[in-house]
Structure 1
Amino acid sequence: MIMTKLRAFQFLNILIIYLLSVSCSKDEHIEIYPTNQLYSLKNVSYGQDPLQKMDIYLPPGRSMNTTKIAVFIHGGGWEGGDKDDLILNQEIINGLMQEFPGYALVNLNYRLVKGNQNQYPAAEIDVQMAMDFIYSNLDAYQVSTETYMAGFSAGAHLAALHTLKHNDRGYIKGCIAMSGVYDFTADLENESDDARRFVEQFLGGTKEEKAKEYQDASPIHYVSANSPKFYIVHGTNDELVSIGQATAFEARLKQQNVSVLTFYHQDNHGIGEGSLSKLLADLKSFLN
């Protein structure tokens, strides 16, 4: 009996030592991407859903002290679109790295509304999950915590919402919001039929039916004196989302003395070629 207990005790000790050694070896073999070259990491999973993926572009010469993170979120009415809509071939990536040196680029997918599935707050949660994943892998990527969020249309809404609602750690230093909706509680009669349909599908009903969701999902309600700077881009002839969404958001930010740069171009919901040079110049100023 004594020998049996002794053998059991020895086995338990061996098992504990083995588990500790496995645990330590995992920590010691974290993959670190060498900083002397560019890495294009495609379809990095930050969750279990097939849409919870992102592309990460790590520039050469990066450093955990100086290399910042720029995150782009695609549009599509919260029910369509894809990160691959932003065509980033090697030539374009190299060009972006030259125009914006010192930035790691992240192109993000998120769960899309399909019927009653993936309605709010699924997309908001996905952005949080993606950013937490990035921050937990700073050592591997060799980048700093300093982050700039950016998005177009529905992506602008998600970027602004994350910037204003989930920046407790202060990592986010600015947000680039293009053609977005920032206040669902405003009178949406000025918005297009398509915009109202997208909003109701995303939030699960009308403003009367889902008052809490309309409030919680509106970036404008999270503006404070501590909010990071914003660059707002919107078309004065936008037929999908009215320019009033942008100007009201700008006014709320300025009311709290938040730094705001704006570009109100004369295009529709998208950004025309004639506006690109001004946009690029503004982005350089805002990011650098």
Structure 2
Amino acid sequence: MKHMLLFYIFFGIFFLNTSCSSDSSENNDGPELPLAAETFMDVPYGDNDQQRYDLYLPANRSTEYTKVIILVHGGGWTEGDKADMDYIIPFLKSSHPNHAIVNMNYILANLQTPAFPNQFEDIQAVISKLFNERVELQINPEFALIGASAGAHLSLMYDSVYDEDDKVKMVVDIVGPTDFTDPYYSENPNFGFLLSALVDESAYPTNTDYAVAVSPALQISNTTSPTLLFYGNADPLVPLTNGERLNTALTNANIEHNFSVYEGGHGDNWSQADYLDVQNQISSYINSYLEVNTEL
């Protein structure tokens, strides 16, 4: 699957990376002392070597207001790496300097390890670890999920199906697959085999319709978070009908959302104006649904 050139062009060119980390203070005399920014790379959150994330903590953070943005890479559930999302980080640091950022890997699917529900549960493991370490890290465990392609699918599914405690407050869906019952997929003669290879059937009840069970557009409820949808009208990998179906489901459930369709493909040849629109919408949603109030 193509890497998200959209982000490389847009975020990589327009924003310079800020300092990656600074040494934490060794003074333990009082919590009122300002905390330095810190970066932790390849933090393990499970026993598998792929279960790692990079954590960017802002200066002057607090358990009262430092909320967390989680990035979830694409790659067709079988490939990709958190490094594919690195070019978003300078934008987030520049526009939202008081938020913590997590850029996560998950266990890639192979013949021995199916994607679903394991990759949904990897997001759960990251959120649980951050929640449990909230005091040590000085973060407020409220989250945004920003996913690209397969990562958008995982983010949408996690929010609607697995986020039982409502820790996720918003989702950004960038060209994510949302409905595997779409004829674009279901009429592909190889689709049944491909889906069965991605699903751990032992993790689902007997007679489960897996195409439905792992389609976020078919799992929307009144607990689904506000969502941004970004799609191309000539995407060879994810049909525009998938964006349209998710848009309809969110509308029917009265979930706050915005659906944007751009001229081009899988996020890799949209216009500069479209890239700017993506930035503005993401920032607006973060300010609205993952607001940081440092005056608390």
TM-score where L is the length of structure 1: 0.79
1:158-202, Cα deviation, whole Å (9 max, x unpaired): 000111112221211110011111122333448888988764532
Residue 287 of structure 1 is matched in structure 2 by 286
Q: Within 2, Cα distance between the matches of 1:194 and 1:210?
A: 20
State whether residues 192 and 240 of structure 1, in contact with CA within 8 Å, keep that contact through their aligned partners in structure 2: no
Q: Which amino acid aligns with 1:259?
A: E
Gaps of 5+ in 2: 1-27, 288-296
Gaps of 5+ in 1: 1-28
SS in 2 for 1:56: strand
Residue 108 of structure 1 is matched in structure 2 by 104
Query: Which residue of 154, 159, 162 maps to 1:166?
Result: 162
The yes-or-no answer on 1:121 pairing with 2:117 is: yes
Residue 45 of structure 1 is matched in structure 2 by 44
C-alpha deviation, 1:81, in angstroms: 0.2
SS in 1 for 2:165: coil
The yes-or-no answer on 1:148 pairing with 2:144 is: yes
Q: Which amino acid aligns with 1:283?
A: I
Q: Within 2, Cα distance between the matches of 1:102 and 1:180?
A: 28
Seen in structure 2, the aligned counterparts of structure 1 residues 113 and 210 have a Cα distance that, compared at 3 Å, is farther
Seen in structure 2, the aligned counterparts of structure 1 residues 191 and 87 have a Cα distance that, compared at 3 Å, is farther
State whether residues 185 and 191 of structure 2, in contact with CA within 8 Å, keep that contact through their aligned partners in structure 1: no
Residue 80 of structure 1 is matched in structure 2 by 79
Q: Which amino acid aligns with 2:137?
A: Y
> Which of these two proteins has the greater Rg computed from alpha carbons?
1
TM-score where L is the length of structure 2: 0.77
| RMSD (CA atoms) | 2.6
SS in 1 for 2:86: coil
Report percent identity of matched pairs. Answer: 25
Residue 230 of structure 2 is matched in structure 1 by 233
Q: Which amino acid aligns with 2:178?
A: Y
Seen in structure 2, the aligned counterparts of structure 1 residues 139 and 248 have a Cα distance that, compared at 3 Å, is same
C-alpha deviation, 1:132, in angstroms: 0.8
Q: Within 2, Cα distance between the matches of 1:129 and 1:53?
A: 10
Residue 256 of structure 1 is matched in structure 2 by 253
1:116-148, Cα deviation, whole Å (9 max, x unpaired): 423322111111111111111111111112211
State whether residues 191 and 241 of structure 1, in contact with CA within 8 Å, keep that contact through their aligned partners in structure 2: no
Q: Within 2, Cα distance between the matches of 1:285 and 1:120?
A: 32
Pairing 1:1-288 to 2, within 5 Å after superposition: 36-88=35-87, 93=89, 95-189=91-185, 199-203=195-199, 211-271=208-268, 272=270, 274=272, 275-288=274-287
Q: Which amino acid aligns with 2:230?
A: V
1:59-92, Cα deviation, whole Å (9 max, x unpaired): 112221111111110000000000012235xxx7
Seen in structure 2, the aligned counterparts of structure 1 residues 197 and 97 have a Cα distance that, compared at 3 Å, is farther
State whether residues 150 and 159 of structure 1, in contact with CA within 8 Å, keep that contact through their aligned partners in structure 2: yes
Seen in structure 2, the aligned counterparts of structure 1 residues 67 and 238 have a Cα distance that, compared at 3 Å, is same
Q: Within 1, Cα distance between the matches of 2:212 and 2:186?
A: 18
Greater relative contact order, per chain length (Cα 8 Å cut-off, separation 6+): 2
More helix by share: 1
